[in-house]
């Protein structure tokens, strides 16, 4: 499904600034992934042909957006899939802010933006927002609590009859097969899994990239910033690149994946959450995973801390000088995919 191809070198896009906690970049073929997505979707719904029905409804339904997802959207994407995450220094208690991007082929940006508008301008679960002077779309489920509103300007969506749904078929309990929009798929995910990161999610096209983020304000800040330095300029990142240059698999084949992370990023925040007994209400990725796996909900709908970290001392800032960094790479070889991850101490 994921068709990777090696290239001589991979670099994070320019919008990944020097303050990034971690980034990853992949060279893949999004059209191959899209073509092979159908069987997985059908299997999840336990309904053969469900994905084809959705594609047909987008393109052919009389009140639908008249969008061919393959030719109007996915076929116009490039091969550079990137992600980055960091803590907003102004709001560290809110957890990691992440951004995903996929580059758009030259001259195709307007086609992608127009296709997104056709798909979401009348969707009740999505509202239009303006970020960095560009049109973006923000998910805020009309059936649940809406995500925190951005300060960006909004406009009411045009009113018109909603798209007709496909005939209902037997499905997994609690999951409706008559899905007529991507937002309703996301809404179902929120209802069934409590996936808070979907609430308030924002996506759109800007400066040659398709962006997705879990925080509109953070994304706009990144888009408007003109970083004078890149994370690539970091001395530790340069050490990682020097190590990478000496790796035999990369020298012989090139690589399709590369990532880098500062180990200190998030460690301080999670340590203090644990020490203060605030993991249950924590919004970091680590605290959410702990809550999901190990922290049950009581009868009042609240979570109680399962561990007592009160005896731990406050975080020692000197640790920041001792904690190193990590990076990884991936190489496509004749008989499979080869990955290596490395952790490096500063000293």
What ranges do the domains of the chain cover?
19-229
Question: Residue 160 pLDDT more than 70?
Answer: no
Question: Residue 144 pLDDT more than 80?
Answer: no
Q: What's the pLDDT score for residue 141?
A: 60
Question: Residue 178 pLDDT more than 80?
Answer: no
Number of H helices, E strands in the chain: 10, 12
Evaluate whether 344 touches 240 at the Cβ level (below 8 Å): yes
Q: pLDDT, tens digit, for every residue of 83-128?
A: 998 887 677 667 888 999 999 999 999 999 999 999 999 888 899 9
Could you give the angle at the alpha carbon of 121 between the alpha carbons of 187 and 195, nearest 5°? 20
Q: Which of 327, 284, 332, 331 lies closest to 12, judged by CA? A: 327
Q: pLDDT, tens digit, for every residue of 254-311?
A: 999 999 998 887 788 888 888 888 888 777 777 778 877 876 777 666 777 777 888 8
Q: What's the pLDDT score for residue 136?
A: 96
Neighbours of 337 (CB within 10 A): 12
Strands 77-87 vs 126-131: parallel, antiparallel or unpaired:
unpaired
d(CA 347, CA 344): 8
Question: Residue 200 pLDDT more than 90?
Answer: no
Neighbours of 136 (CB within 10 A): 26
Per-residue pLDDT band for 165 (boundaries 50, 70, 90) equals very low
Evaluate whether 284 touches 271 at the Cβ level (below 8 Å): no
Question: Residue 220 pLDDT more than 80?
Answer: yes
Evaluate whether 180 touches 164 at the Cβ level (below 8 Å): yes
Average pLDDT of every residue of the chain? 80
CA distance to 73, 117, 167, 218, per residue, from 55 (Å) = 12, 17, 14, 32
Question: Residue 64 pLDDT more than 50?
Answer: yes
| Burial environment of residue 327 by CB neighbours within 10 A (0 to 12, 13 to 18, 19 or more) | buried
Per-residue pLDDT band for 193 (boundaries 50, 70, 90) equals very low
How far from the centroid of its chain's Cα atoms is residue 200's Cα? Answer: 12
Q: What's the pLDDT score for residue 284?
A: 79
Backbone angles phi, psi at 190, to 5 degrees: -65, -45
Helix (H), strand (E) at residue 28: strand 22-29
Q: What's the pLDDT score for residue 184?
A: 54
Helix (H, G, I), strand (E, B) or coil at 138: strand
Backbone angles phi, psi at 94, to 5 degrees: -85, -5
């Amino acid at each position: 499904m994921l068709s990777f191809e090696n290239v001589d070198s991979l670099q994070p896009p320019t919008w990944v600034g020097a303050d990034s906690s971690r980034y990853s970049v992949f060279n893949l073929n999004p059209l191959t992934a899209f073509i092979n997505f159908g069987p997985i979707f059908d299997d999840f719904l336990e309904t053969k042909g469900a994905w084809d029905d959705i594609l047909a409804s987008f393109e052919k339904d009389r009140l639908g957006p008249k969008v061919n997802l393959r030719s109007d959207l996915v076929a116009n994407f490039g091969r550079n899939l990137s992600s980055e995450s960091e803590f907003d220094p102004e709001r560290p208690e809110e957890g990691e802010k992440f951004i995903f991007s996929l580059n758009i082929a030259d001259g195709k940006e307007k086609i992608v933006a127009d296709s997104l508008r056709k798909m979401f301008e009348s969707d009740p679960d999505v509202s239009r927002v303006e970020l960095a002077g560009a049109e973006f779309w923000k998910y805020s489920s009309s059936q649940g609590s809406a995500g925190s509103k951005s300060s960006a300007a909004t406009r009411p969506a045009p009113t018109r009859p909603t798209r007709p749904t496909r005939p209902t078929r037997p499905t997994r309990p609690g999951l409706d097969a008559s899905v007529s929009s991507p937002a309703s798929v996301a809404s179902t995910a929120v209802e069934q899994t409590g996936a808070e990161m979907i609430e308030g999610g924002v996506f759109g096209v800007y400066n040659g990239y398709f962006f997705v983020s879990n925080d509109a304000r953070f994304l706009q800040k990144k888009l408007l910033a003109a970083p004078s330095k890149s994370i690539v300029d970091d001395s530790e990142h340069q050490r990682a690149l020097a190590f990478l240059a000496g790796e035999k698999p990369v020298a012989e084949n090139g690589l399709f994946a590369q990532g880098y992370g500062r180990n200190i990023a998030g460690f301080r925040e999670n340590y203090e959450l644990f020490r203060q007994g605030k993991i249950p209400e924590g919004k970091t990725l680590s605290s959410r995973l702990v809550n999901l796996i190990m922290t049950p909900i009581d009868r009042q709908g609240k979570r109680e801390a399962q561990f007592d970290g009160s005896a731990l001392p406050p975080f020692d800032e000197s640790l920041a000088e001792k904690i190193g960094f990590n990076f990884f790479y991936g190489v496509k070889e004749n008989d499979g995919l080869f990955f290596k991850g490395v952790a490096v101490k500063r000293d």
